[in-house]
Structure 1
């Protein structure tokens, strides 16, 4: 998903990006980023990793076990297109 275009961004990924943009998500650090939406783990356990790897959300801070997820400028552009 690197160099993400709107054709490769799934509906689920777009919905998760909207949730991150709305401040509803937290990102946990670990062997794979854990994305929480409204305090619940995302059913798509690979979603956090996928969005971080694509550069759409900022990677988790390894010094903080759980932090607010934040969308990147690339993520904002993906949502706008």
Structure 2
């Protein structure tokens, strides 16, 4: 089975909403030392999708944040 495929290959999403994206971030050491802070996993996913060249729209969802990385949060 081939595993080096791009996300969404064959059925690419046009829009994604990531619920629980934190604007505070965290560090990789938090993952090794007993869990990441709340919202950190959403922030990682948010940044990975944006940096990977995902061509669709991505909406960060966090009712306590006005924006995440300069993008309006919902």
TM-score range, shorter chain: under 0.3
| Structure label with greater radius of gyration | 2
**Greater percentage in helix:** 1
TM-score, normalisation: structure 1: 0.27
